[in-house]
Amino acid sequence: MYAQERLAEAGETATVTRRHAQHFRRGFGARFDDWTQLSDAAFRARYAPHLDNMRAAIAWSFGSDGDDETAIALVGSSAQLAELVAVRGSRSMGATGDGRLAPSTPPALEADLWLAVARFHGQRNQQATIRASRRAADLYRGLGDPLRRGCALHALGSAHAAERDDEAEPVLLEARALLERTGRPRLVAMAHGGTALFHAAHGRTDDAFRELQAALALHRAAGAEGDVLRVLVSLADQTWLRGDLEAAIRLARDTLEQHRQSPFSGRVSRAYAQANLFGMLVEHGDLAEAQAMGRRLLPELCELGIAHGWSDHYASCLARCGSVESAVRLVGWANALRLARGLRRQPNEERARDATLALARAGASARRSRSTAGRGAALREGRTGWRDHERDGRSRAVHAKATSSASGVVPAKVAGAGRRRDTDRPVRGAGPDRASDAAVAPPAP
């Protein structure tokens, strides 16, 4: 503070902060190659001591005295660093792509920016990811950079796979060839992960499982401990989708325990692990444990914007615990959301929905069940029945905060059936994409 005051008195604050930002722009220039080759522990050891300086440089570059080119370069650098920096400004980063670029922006900086924007959005906003990663891939092609082009195509193909678009397969095949050519285990593992996502999106669970096992071995070889945890979540999810509920629960519990013990556990990956275990417990009939977990977890899922991905499991839990009308209302809301966004249910989600509706039919007329579901289609998320999971043992203040956090997940009314969706939850069965950590940590490319 004293030094800052003296700089201000001397009128040198702007000059020093500019030099500081430019220094760290240069100093972090090798971060991408380091990330592709170093273990998570080595990467953190190299960059973590300088993160406060990186934060200050980013803050200055976005300020009134900042420099657009420096801002673009720092944002492009932050994609691999965000797990350490704990950047929460993914929306600001996305806006940077639109607002900071100029005709004079060097193509290499623009390409890095768009790749970072694609990672920040990840599977949480498929169309934004597609736009950003396609632009990055085109620029890297012109720059003759096959490594980064492979990463951009991986992001593009993964987003297309999540949308079940026809473009996914050729893009992922091209990305895989480029990534495998590098011989770097982390990048080759990414290629297997993209193929697993494609298979999972088309219901080929055995193929997805095989690709995920290959990715797991490579991530371990690379020392990519955060990615190891994410793949374990995906493997548990695939086991669930294959119908082996007992094995899935065992694997999910073990994976969640590893998340708790690891310093490289990502917030969203951990949330995925808990949410999947919650759904498994509901299906297994372990309702006391499921209720306790669901109440604790729901505010986190809402804050991350992914709660709707487990709406069928929350509805099934409600129905099995006696709140059938709230459960049917939640199913109706989920039906309308899926219709509006073109989403398909995975097999475990279908089982959860069917269990809810079977309980509803057993206790009420079919006409009444359809009427309740119809009312749910027009409700805000906070009024669909989510709140029934939070009432026991929670104060009104905490409950209000969680409800407020949920308000941005879906519009007040789900409308526009058949319209192309801009936001989507990650494809179930593929597990937590690193970009799902966008609230705190964007994914590996």
- What lies within 8 Å, CB to CB, of 240 at 6+ separation is 248, 252, 276, 279, 280, 348
Tens digits of per-residue pLDDT, 146-194? 999 999 999 999 999 988 888 999 999 999 999 999 999 999 999 999 9
Q: How far apart are CA 401 and CA 133, in angstroms?
A: 35
| Token pair in block for residue 71 | 């801002």
pLDDT greater at residue 362 or residue 274: 274
Tens digits of per-residue pLDDT, 16-37? 677 777 777 787 778 889 999 9
Is 444 strand, coil or helix?
coil
Q: Amino acid letter at 64?
A: S
Q: How far apart are CA 420 and CA 412, in angstroms?
A: 18
pLDDT at 168: 94
pLDDT greater at residue 278 or residue 394: 278
pLDDT at 418: 34
Calculate the average pLDDT of the chain: 78
- Per-residue pLDDT, averaged over 128-150, amounts to 95
pLDDT at 254: 98
Cβ atoms of 442 and 124 within 8 Å: the answer is no
Q: Is 75 exposed, middle or buried (0-12, 13-18, 19+ CB in 10 A)?
A: buried
Instruction: List domains and CATH numbers for the chain.
Output: 7-232+425-439 (1.25.40.10), 314-423 (no CATH)
Residue 395 has pLDDT above 90, yes or no: no
pLDDT at 231: 97
Tens digits of per-residue pLDDT, 419-443? 334 343 444 444 454 333 322 222 2
Helix axes 107-121, 126-143, angle to 10 degrees: 150
The DSSP symbol for 364 reads S
pTM (2 d.p.)? 0.78
Terminal Cα distance for the chain, rounded: 38
Q: Answer positive or negative: Cα dihedral of 388, 391, 394, 395.
A: positive
Short-list 292, 346, 343, 345, CA closest to 317: 292
